Amino acid sequence: MTRPRRLRATPALRALVAETRLHPRDLVLPLFVKEGITEPVEITSMPGVLHHSEESLAQAVREAADAGLGGVMLFGVPEHRDATGSGADDPEGILNRGIRIAVEAAAGRLVVMADLCLDEFTDHGHCGVLDAHGGVDNDATLERYVSMAVAQAQAGATVLGLSGMMDGQVFAVRSGLDQSTANGGAGFPDTAILAYSAKYASAFYGPFRDAVESTLDGDRRTYQMDAANRREGGRETALDLLEGADIVMVKPAMSYLDVLADVAEQSDVPVAAYQVSGEYAMIEAAAANGWIDRRGAILESVLGIKRAGADIVLTYWATEIAGWLGER
């Protein structure tokens, strides 16, 4: 009498009983704005993803808003880098300029988020400043993050994506924003924090490092997490929740769906997952070779991330997926 196939018989039945659905509002599009270019340039390792000029950034944000996306996440690619990443908190630095452009283009139709990390701005490519022995100095980096946070909040970002994996970064940035005098003494209590809580040291960031023209020589294993550790993902998330994170995130997505499911279970704030550059590049490369059905693989990969527990998915396909969802 029990025939699970009964509910799979027609497209309408399958649609009725689907446990997970994709919606454009759940999707966030990462965007790269590059200093010193006037036309957008395709990123070689991420076919279909562009380095935006300031002009084309505005256009991409308007398209994302037209597509009904939930938000955009901005990354800056500066022309000049130095030891402390001074371009990151310079109000005229490329990322802060990009935030102002995106906020204007979005006109309140979607949420503008900004990556808060130093790696794109430092000449050594690490996510923080270095100590005398070349190690990443956790607490000196926190001061840089606070200054960057204030600059991003001032530029108008609604959500700051803390991706540096320094200990105590959420608390430091939260306190720094609230106590800032940059806003006439009022602070920035309404600027939200999306914490990259369980961010793993991953080979799947490879194409992104090309995208931001990373100068890193070495790795990030003293601050990003070890792929072997599941329980630790929960511990990092618990700390970020205590420190005041408004949204928590797991990154990458596909190789960490167990961690994502744990975090979704434990978190009392929205949970995001980042489908990273390597996940994007793998599907694109297989599809370009005719080895995989591109659209089917993209939709299945994002559905899997939602099914595992993500409320919000950062994906380079966000605008395209929203277009497909609109066709149905």
- Smallest gap from Cβ 273 to ligand PBG, in A, equals 12
Determine whether 34 is an active site residue: no
Phi, psi of 195 (to 5 degrees): -95, 125
Select which of 187, 199, 202, 274 is catalytic.
199
Determine if residue 316 is labeled as part of a ligand binding site. Answer: yes
Please give the residue ranges that form the binding site for ligand PBG (CB under 6 A). 115, 117, 119, 163, 205, 208-209, 220, 276-277
Give the closest residue to 275 by CA, choosing from 244, 291, 254, 299.
254
8 A C-beta contact, residue 55 and residue 74: no
Nearer to ligand PBG, 115 or 240 (CB): 115
Our CB check for ligand PBG shows the closer of 89 and 115 to be 115
Instruction: Report the distance separating Cα 253 and Cα 251, nearest Å.
Output: 5
Query: Does 300 belong to an annotated binding site?
Result: no
Asked if residue 220 belongs to a known ligand binding site, the reply is yes
Q: Dump the DSSP string for 37-56.
A: -SS-EE-TTSTT-EEEPHHH
Question: Least distance (Å) from ligand PBG to the CB of residue 47?
Answer: 14
**Minimal CB distance residue for ligand PBG:** 208
CA distance 53 to 97: 11
88-121: b or e for each residue (b if 16 or more CB lie within 10 Å)? bbbeebbbbbbbbbbbebbeeebbbbbbbbbbbb
To the query of whether residue 251 is one of the catalytic residues in this protein, the response is: yes
Q: CB-wise, 161 or 187, nearer to ligand PBG?
A: 161
Q: Which of 118, 251, 257, 259 is catalytic?
A: 251
Shortest Å, Cβ 16 to ligand PBG? 35
Is position 236 annotated in a ligand binding site?
yes
Q: What angle do CA 225, 228, 233 make, to 5 degrees?
A: 50
Query: Which parts are annotated binding residues for 5-aminolevulinate?
Result: 209, 220, 277, 316
Query: Which parts are annotated binding residues for Mg(2+)?
Result: 236
Q: Residues with catalytic annotation?
A: 199, 251
